[in-house]
Structure 1
Amino acid sequence: MSERYDCWECKDSLLGQKYILREEQPYCIKCYEGLFSSICELCNKLISCTSKDLSYKDRHWHSECFLCNTCSRSLVDRPFAAKNDLLMCIECYCTEYSAKCHACLNTIMPGERTGTKKMEHKGNSWHEKCFVCSSCQQPIGTRSFVKKEGSNYCLPCYEKQFALKCVHCKKAIIAGGVSYQDQSWHKECFVCIGCKMQLAGQRFTSRDDLAYCLECFCNLFAKKCAHCTKPISGLGGSKYISFDERQWHNNCFNCKKCNESLVGRGFLTFSDDIYCPDCGKDL
């Protein structure tokens, strides 16, 4: 006698019957479909062993049910896209959801299936091949660029055509420039001629068309107080006393002996010192 050959699930004999092996175990068609076949997403019916099962992200369809959700055209062997779990042919997807190229005004097709990359900047989109410098027409890609009057320029073209040149280093000023005496500077180039401190946003003055921070200007050019020997800047409305080619800060113009202020009062001089009239009587 020959050995029985039974369905692994229902134990019915498979002799002379169609069956399917799964993990080396035989199943009759009915048991196999009940255990392992998928349910079609569209018609909600079982996808039989004799039907073609099309799947996408753990979802299954009969081949005749694998359709565009918008136009109902078959998606079998055609590129498609998904939006909110709905399958759509590329044409319908682009009509409803894809951006328009800012340059050629055509739809930017989804990238993975068409090989088209979308470039975006401040709400506008381009095909990669359309995102080019307005001057040299070379693709910009991921390189730095400057937008001017609605057009995009690669940095070399922008510098050549539009950028101001720094009067110090002669290089283009892309951003953050300083204007002084009708000339343009990079912030980092506009420095005190003495100490090299950056002057952008700081108080400064000039002499012979050269810019100085206040400290360097005072140390180099300001008169020195006859009493404390520190510079008298005269800047910002500060007052000082001048007499006989000598200068004093207001708070330094005091009697040598009693230290009383002589501002607005008569005084006497003896050698390099100044005295109030009372102290001067004893000289």
Structure 2
Amino acid sequence: MTNIKLFSVSLSSLAGGDSQQAVCEGCTRIISDRFLMRVNDASWHEECLQCAACQQLFATKCSGCLDTIAPTEFVMRALESVYHLSCFYCCVCERQLCKGDEFVLKDGQLLCKNDYERERDFQVKSAVK
């Protein structure tokens, strides 16, 4: 039987002017962000909060720029990858990909349909030679 503990989590604002600076439990740096996470009296940066069992970060990271994605942001998804809207573009021609566009996710990189087909055709021609 698995032993599960539930913890109290809250999002606190630092705007209250608390004279004592909070230190992040995860990275041990001072929290100067506007918001911090509080878990059982410990303070965390939003991006540092992680699972105690597997150490997986709770914050969602953009697969393009690797920055944290805020819960209020609109995103684009490709399989398990999540992107800021501005990071969802072809890695070859840098054309912004929109909902409904055909694309390929190859080795973690986005390619529009045209660039993927161009690359595929080049590889086929190279293999024939």
Q: What's the TM-score, normalizing by structure 2? A: 0.49
**Structure with greater Cα Rg:** 1
Q: As a proportion of its length, which structure holds more strand? A: 1
User: Which of structures 1 and 2 has the larger relative contact order (alpha carbons within 8 angstroms, sep 6+)?
Assistant: 2
Q: What's the TM-score, normalizing by structure 1? A: 0.24
